[in-house]
């Protein structure tokens, strides 16, 4: 992940790709932070640093004067990922929800307006609905619908440009499984986790954390 990040940093020199470069640097920081947090509280400070840097790169991308033909796609992907980064920061420090919560919500609305059928946008909105308390507008039912819709959209996604993001399919099944676990529907959760591993056999989050929590079939 650090090697990939360094590659994207070098790509910043190409002004025509700078917005995408900021996006992919942020994505690596976001993934590194999630990995560190999964290893325990001892890595919280390092993870927070990566989340901060991810937010800074995405905020910079929102200020870019994008003249590319895919400007709308860039903006939607950046807004959705920045919303998720803010959400992760809130999960680490609830007090940040006071000012980051509204920002995250507004970014999601913008992403949905720009690209309502983008599977990563739909996934981000569903994760937000799942993790947000009901009193603040969250909804487990809406989240489930979002995860299911994202699964369908990912199955239909056919990128036309190699620089466009393609990540998220396996993660969507992981979140779908989590939603089923929340409903105590273990068989459906197991099926979702197994599907996630079919798509990405190296998804350590599912293989080592989520799937073992589901009881084995009798």
Is pLDDT at 39 greater than 90 in this prediction? Answer: no
Mean residue pLDDT across the chain: 93
Name, in order, each residue with C-beta under 8 angstroms of 101's C-beta and a sequence gap of 6 or more.
86, 90, 136
What CATH number does residue 199 fall under? 1.25.40.10
- Same domain for 144 and 111: no
What's the whole-number mean pLDDT along residues 91-119?
93
pLDDT exceeds 90 at position 218: no
Exposure letters 69-78 (e unless 16+ CB within 10 A, then b): ebeebbbbbb
- 172 and 182 in a single domain? The answer is yes
DSSP per-residue codes, 158-214: --SSTTS--TTHHHHHHHHHHHHHHTT-HHHHHHHHHHHHHH-TT-HIIIIIIGGGS
pLDDT at residue 121 in the model: 98
Predicted TM-score (pTM) of this structure = 0.92
Between CA 204 and CA 210 the distance in angstroms is 9
pLDDT reported for residue 94: 81
Residue with tokens 């909804």: 139
Instruction: Return the C-alpha torsion angle 203, 108, 99, 5, nearest 10.
Output: 40
- Structural domain count of the chain: 2
Among 59, 82, 115, give the residue marking a domain's end. Answer: 115
Instruction: Average the pLDDT over 142-165 and give the result.
Output: 95
To the nearest whole percent, how much of the chain has pLDDT over 90?
81
- Residue finishing a domain among 84, 115, 146: 115
Residue 177: burial class (beta carbons within 10 Å; 0-12, 13-18, 19+): buried
Give the range of the structural domain holding residue 160, as residue numbers without chain letter: 116-218
Same domain, 137 and 104: no
Residues 97 and 127 occupy one common structural domain? no
Q: Indicate whether 22 and 99 sit together in one domain.
A: yes
- Clarify whether residues 90 and 107 are in a common domain: yes
- Please check whether residues 79 and 49 belong to one and the same domain: yes
Please indicate whether residue 16 or residue 113 has the higher confidence score (pLDDT): 113
């Amino acid at each position: 992940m650090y090697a990939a990040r360094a590659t994207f940093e070098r790509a910043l020199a190409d002004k025509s790709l700078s917005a995408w470069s900021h996006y992919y640097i942020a994505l690596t920081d976001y993934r590194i932070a999630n990995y560190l947090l999964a290893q325990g509280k001892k890595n919280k400070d390092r993870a927070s640093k990566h989340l901060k840097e991810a937010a800074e790169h995405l905020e910079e991308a929102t200020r870019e004067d994008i003249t590319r033909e895919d400007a709308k796609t860039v903006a939607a992907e950046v807004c959705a990922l920045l919303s998720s980064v803010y959400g992760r920061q809130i999960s680490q420090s609830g007090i940040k929800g006071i000012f980051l919560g509204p920002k995250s919500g507004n970014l999601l609305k913008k992403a949905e307006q720009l690209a309502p059928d983008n599977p990563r946008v739909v996934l981000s909105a569903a994760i937000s609905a799942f993790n947000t308390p009901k009193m603040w507008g969250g909804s487990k039912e809406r989240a489930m619908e979002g995860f299911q819709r994202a699964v369908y959209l990912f199955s239909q996604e056919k990128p036309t440009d190699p620089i466009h993001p393609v990540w998220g399919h396996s993660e969507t099944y992981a979140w779908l499984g989590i939603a089923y676990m929340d409903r105590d529907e273990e068989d459906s959760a197991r099926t979702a986790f197994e599907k996630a591993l079919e798509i990405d056999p190296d998804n350590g989050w599912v293989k080592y954390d989520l799937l073992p929590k589901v009881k084995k079939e009798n």
